[in-house]
Structure 1
């Protein structure tokens, strides 16, 4: 296997050393540069074109997001993992970076146990490196949007559940603002994110959209045309109350696929309420979360849409749904919003 080349960017010499040492322990990883400031980082990344960049969010003069935007301006293609602190300000900037196209982010360890901190950081690095290597198959890249050969009959869709993970914030920023203000159904989003980061993502999407986008709250009464984003570290559950009202419940049930919120969890509760009148949309992400839920949606006569390999940051989640044979449509990201709109137009 070829060497996996990494550039480390952080203004803390101690943290740079820790990252270098941990990356050196990961097979086939090579740190090709370690820099302390954003300006040098831009030049090094442009010159070396590494497989991965670990980029500190908060740096003086040229911040992490400034680096990301300059690389984008220069059209330097690099998988950038932001290194963030668990603070409100850090969450806001990290969310902006993800929407700007950062691959993913890692929280700086905050435990008082240095051994546990290093173990957690190494595990996070290994997971991101595996995700970078999990790219869309070349033979699929030239395919156009597809409809499966035996789609279900058209049904009225009363709710939409969107599931995503790695690359999700960028994908959502391209889909949600393209949905019309008069959308006749609620939209529920499950994006794998920790506590404290989903509020800023909901806020950014709300600012860019005609629809109201808000972070899930316990007891929220859902209405058509509303977009509800699952809260970090809570499963999003849907339930009926008086009349036909649908209410949101935040659940601390065990993690699924090592995730909370999990897409499968929300899809199960959505199927109980909406039965076959449900559209599941699976966008970019690592792993298989959402596949079992989509199989359930499909078995009840609902619809399933999966993002096409082309343009996926990580093809894992949509690929698993497609391989399970339950995707009614396979659509490239720029056409996902229109596909949702078309399905919601059926009466």
Structure 2
């Protein structure tokens, strides 16, 4: 073991899963498994003793479950946590809650656990451990408060809920927590519909939408095919489909596409932004937020060619991973760079909802 290797603690109540994850991590020369824990209480003890950089955390465990352990781990130190989640509805909901509480990211257990050591999962786990470590090392932290809910535009305007703007958001790593921070800041009567592409597997986007709907004044849902865009509604792209738009007769509907992934992503931010560019909606606010890679920039360039959007990028200090916003900024398509908790204010001011 060398001092510069990433120190990983594995937490899972299954001895088999602990061994599988251990073997996957140990094949990477950049990483070292410093220990394992069988439940949340054991994890707290081992984390104190071993001082890991990154913790892989199961959710469903005896004695102390993963969510309770995560809350206590965060009080103990600034560990970077990657959730190892099941595909079940309960597992997806718990994972969304864990991300909201501050887990860096997650990997999903395959339905057949014996396929867990596949090269694809091994590579995904290694990349997320690496990015989690870099995020912790740089000390990047999002704002921990939701901020004050911005007042609505009032009841004097009977057409307050007319669709006058479209807000298109592209986001990836760190997205659930970022979205759960800013969505409650929008009033229910904004004259805009919101469409969101969050890189996330099928099944998890519905749990994300449900959770955001619980904490927001806006109506948040997983997008459905042929659904009419309405002001005051947020539509989350399903993890299995691209989200595109079709305008006809003065109205715009959502069209879900199962076309192949673009750049490895389905849903893709580029696909969504290009579709927005081809729609009849002229008043567009595009937001590119925390995430790895460059998804969204090509779509924003296309959007800029066909319309006059207001483009906001999340700043580096509040991005868990400053990849997608950085590339967009460097391309020259961004009008405004804002910290996470300021993004809603910039959007509302642009729409004239807030002075």
Q: Please state if 1:231 is matched with 2:238.
A: yes
Tell whether the 8 Å contact from 1:311 to 1:333 is kept in structure 2 after alignment. yes
Equivalent position of 1:89 in the other structure: 90
What is the aligned counterpart of 1:174 among 181, 205, 209? 181
Distance 1:318 1:136, change over 3 A: farther
Q: RCO greater where, 1 or 2, for CA within 8 Å and sep 6 or more?
A: 1
Determine the C-alpha separation between the residues in 2 that align with 1:176 and 1:274: 25
Q: Please state if 1:201 is matched with 2:208.
A: yes
Equivalent position of 2:50 in the other structure: 48
Equivalent position of 2:64 in the other structure: 62
Q: Please state if 1:245 is matched with 2:251.
A: yes
Determine the C-alpha separation between the residues in 2 that align with 1:308 and 1:46: 33
Equivalent position of 2:122 in the other structure: 122
Tell whether the 8 Å contact from 2:166 to 2:285 is kept in structure 1 after alignment. yes
Unaligned runs of 5+ in 1: 142-155
Q: What's the offset of the Cα at 1:304?
A: 1.0
The C-alpha deviation readout for 1:142-174, integer Å capped at 9, x for no partner, is xxxxxxxxxxxxxx9721101111110000001
SS in 1 for 2:279: helix
Equivalent position of 1:100 in the other structure: 101
Unaligned runs of 5+ in 2: 142-162
Q: Please state if 1:305 is matched with 2:312.
A: yes
Q: What's the offset of the Cα at 1:61?
A: 2.1
The C-alpha deviation readout for 1:75-95, integer Å capped at 9, x for no partner, is x21111100111111111111
Q: What's the offset of the Cα at 1:109?
A: 2.3
Tell whether the 8 Å contact from 1:100 to 1:170 is kept in structure 2 after alignment. yes
What value does the CA root-mean-square deviation take over the aligned residues? 2.4
The C-alpha deviation readout for 1:216-251, integer Å capped at 9, x for no partner, is 00111111111111111111111113x211111111
When normalised by structure 1's length, the TM-score is 0.89
Distance 1:137 1:183, change over 3 A: farther
When normalised by structure 2's length, the TM-score is 0.87
Distance 1:136 1:319, change over 3 A: farther
Q: Which runs of 4+ in 1 moved over 4 A?
A: 133-138
